């Protein structure tokens, strides 16, 4: 009488062999993007400060009402025109211009 053991390379865990032989999982090639990003040293730029602009009415309800009226006139803001990528201490930083004029 002999005992036949299952082939351990095809069954069980943690062998890494799938029992489905990739029938249900698609093999996807990794997506690579080839583009150039220019990093500028932050020391090349100077930034000033301005006095803060205060709202006419500081209540939350009034601010939301103003935002609704602006949305009705202009629509959704979808783009920004001021983005600058800089590096400081060898770390990249993304500077975007908030409250910029949107198209």
Question: In whole angstroms, what is the distance from residue 52 CA to residue 99 CA?
Answer: 13
Average pLDDT over residues 76-97: 74
The per-residue pLDDT for range 44-84, each reduced to its tens digit, is 777 777 787 776 777 888 888 888 998 899 887 766 667 77
Average pLDDT over residues 33-39: 77
Question: In whole angstroms, what is the distance from residue 100 CA to residue 83 CA?
Answer: 11
Q: What is the pTM of this model?
A: 0.29
Phi-psi region of 12 (alpha: psi -120 to 50; beta: other; left: phi over 0): left
pLDDT of residue 72: 92
Domains of the chain, by residue range, sit at: 55-103
What is the spatial order of strands in the sheet that 91-96 belongs to? Answer: 40-41, 83-88, 91-96
């Amino acid at each position: 009488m002999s005992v036949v053991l299952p082939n351990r390379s095809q069954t069980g865990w943690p062998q890494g062999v799938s029992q489905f032989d990739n029938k249900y999982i698609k093999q996807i090639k990794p997506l690579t993007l080839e583009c150039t990003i220019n990093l500028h040293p932050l020391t090349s730029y100077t930034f000033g400060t301005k006095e803060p602009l205060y709202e006419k009415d500081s209540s939350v309800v009034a601010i939301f009402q103003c935002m609704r009226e602006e949305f009705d006139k202009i629509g959704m803001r979808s783009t920004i025109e001021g983005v600058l990528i800089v590096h400081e201490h060898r770390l990249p930083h993304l500077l975007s211009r908030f409250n910029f004029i949107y198209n």
